[in-house]
Amino acid sequence: MSILAQVISDVKKRDPHEPEFHQAVEEVFESLEPVAKLHPEWVDAGIFNRIVEPERQIIFRVPWVDDKGKVQVNRGMRVQFNSAIGPYKGGLRFHPSVYPGIIKFLGFEQIFKNSLTGLPMGGGKGGSDFDPKGKSDGEVMRFCQSFMLELARHIGADTDVPAGDIGVGKREIGYLFGMYKKIKNEFTGVLTGKGLPYGGSLVRTQATGYGLCYFMEEAMNTLKNKSFKDSTVVVSGSGNVAIYAAEKASQLGGKVVAMSDSKGCIYDSEGIDLETIKIIKEVEKKRIQEYLKYRPKAVYTEGSSEIWNIKCDIALPCATQNELDENAAKTLVKNGCFAVGEGANMPCNPKAVHLFLKKGLVFAPGKASNAGGVATSGLEMSQNSMRYSWTFEEVDSKLKEIMKEIFRNTNETAKKYGFENNLVAGANIAGFVKVASAMYSQGL
Ligand code: NDP
């Protein structure tokens, strides 16, 4: 058995009930065989065995009181995966599906994504099985305060800097930051995604979606001589990533015809009216089906995966993990789709990814194409340390340069290791090599 196969087998044996984490490890290790051959010293130093084991995992009780005065208990966690190239950095997810396997898959991906940004950030992730949906602001605040009461012991501007993810937006970050400040009596950049009046960065809200489109524009131009201009685009999800991916795709000349939420999808042949989506999702926090009230000619279909049946040139899955399977991939290919860019983390399952690569689509893996969010979080940390803030244009132009550089690095690395046009392999290898070399230098 090769060393990489042995590590994968050990991971499955050690934590058999974490399929998402196994999937993430297999997906990265699939590309690393040539790296292991080129660097026997990394094999001897156990780098491959060490990188799949988090440096630290913290699991804690989060008790809070609901509006009826009843005590509720959730589980909180933070996985501090790798600090070889900088403080742990990665979001917090509040969703009922959260358990260590999800947080470990996200934390593992985060190591390589953060490495690709070129900024000094290690990898981490955290969250809770708490569901903010349907809770009052008071309940969310009390939950966040209780969550931070424990988390504050483990994080810090130079140790671990959490941010948002599914279910954690500006409101939650505000409550978490307020509590951290009370506990520590210090105002530092301990969280990113903060509001603008208290240390947030311009462009952070838009960063993941905009960054995805900057990456795709560069990739489509270089690999296929194509672009968003005059292309039909489908964007799954209607949260933070999806909304701003749709916005930038339209600004670059694409026509976004469909979006979705966890219940269903809408198709608008005239192009989705994003201002309406923002009202429904960001202000009213309602179902996407409400779109029909504003645009009666649009069509709503029950079932979120129905979105992949809609004909498009470019597909941007921006909702959640494993939302696009092999059948969906076949339909997209049959309908003439030429590019797929992952805005979410691991939205395409392994069979879908293999099909896209086999059929020669431009396929951008999330760890490269959605790195704009964490890159801008890195820029937020820099601004906090300098006690300074850059303008929207300054941050946006840095983001654009970072995304272009991630594409260039990913594409060049793929070529160098014999995986021409395979951005999955390029991103895995480029992200891994930097972290592995830092780990090797630092000893055990
Ligand atoms: P949000 O909570 O803002 O939005 C998530 C969206 O996805 C919601 O519209 C939700 O619908 C929808 N959704 C959830 N499950 C499904 C499903 N099965 N099918 C279709 N839609 C679904 O999260 P974000 O936009 O922040 O995150 C989306 C993805 O992007 C996640 O994978 C996240 O890890 C990743 N990501 C986020 C970054 C960021 O900066 N925010 C950075 C990098 C990656 P509903 O409203 O019905 O729940």
Cα angle 8-12-16, degrees, rounded to a multiple of 5: 165
Decide: 167 in ligand 1 pocket, CB within 6 A. Answer: yes
Answer yes or no: do 310 and 218 share one domain. yes
240, 307: one domain? yes
Euclidean distance between the first and the last CA atom of the chain, given in angstroms as a whole number: 25
Same-domain status, 64 and 45: no
Whether residue 164 is predicted with pLDDT greater than 90 in this model: the reply is yes
Count how many Cα atoms sit within 13 Å of the Cα of residue 218 in the half-sphere of its side chain: 22
- In-domain check, residue 411: no
pLDDT in tens, 197-235: 999 999 999 999 999 999 999 999 999 999 999 999 999
The pair of structure tokens assigned to 384 is: 């906090």
My answer on whether 213 and 361 are in the same domain is: yes
Q: Cβ(241) to ligand 1 under 6 A?
A: yes
> CB atoms < 10 A from the CB of 170, how many?
17
252, pLDDT greater than 90? yes
Domain range for residue 93?
A: 54-186
Mean pLDDT along residues 9-13: 98
Residue among 112, 4, 32 nearest 346 (CA): 112
**Nearest atom of ligand 1 to the alpha carbon of 265:** 20
Give the percent of the chain with pLDDT over 90: 99
Note whether 130 and 228 are same-domain residues. no
125 is catalytic: yes
Residue with tokens 């084991």, as numbered in its chain: 53
Whether residue 123 sits in one domain with residue 45: no
CB 350 within 8 A of CB 23: yes
Q: What is the pLDDT of residues 43-84, one digit of tens each?
A: 999 999 999 999 999 999 999 999 999 999 999 999 999 999
355 lies in the same domain as 222: yes
209 Cβ inside 6 Å of ligand 1: no
Whole-number Å distance, alpha carbon 46 to ligand 1 midpoint, is 35
Domain co-membership, 359 together with 214: yes
Taking a C-beta distance cutoff of 8 angstroms, is the pair 207, 353 a contact? no
Q: Are residue 86 and residue 182 in the same domain, yes or no?
A: yes
Q: What is the CATH number of the domain that holds 64?
A: 3.40.50.10860
Do residues 220 and 316 both lie within one domain? yes
List the catalytic residue out of 104, 125, 281, 400: 125
Q: Please report whether residue 424 resides in a domain.
A: no
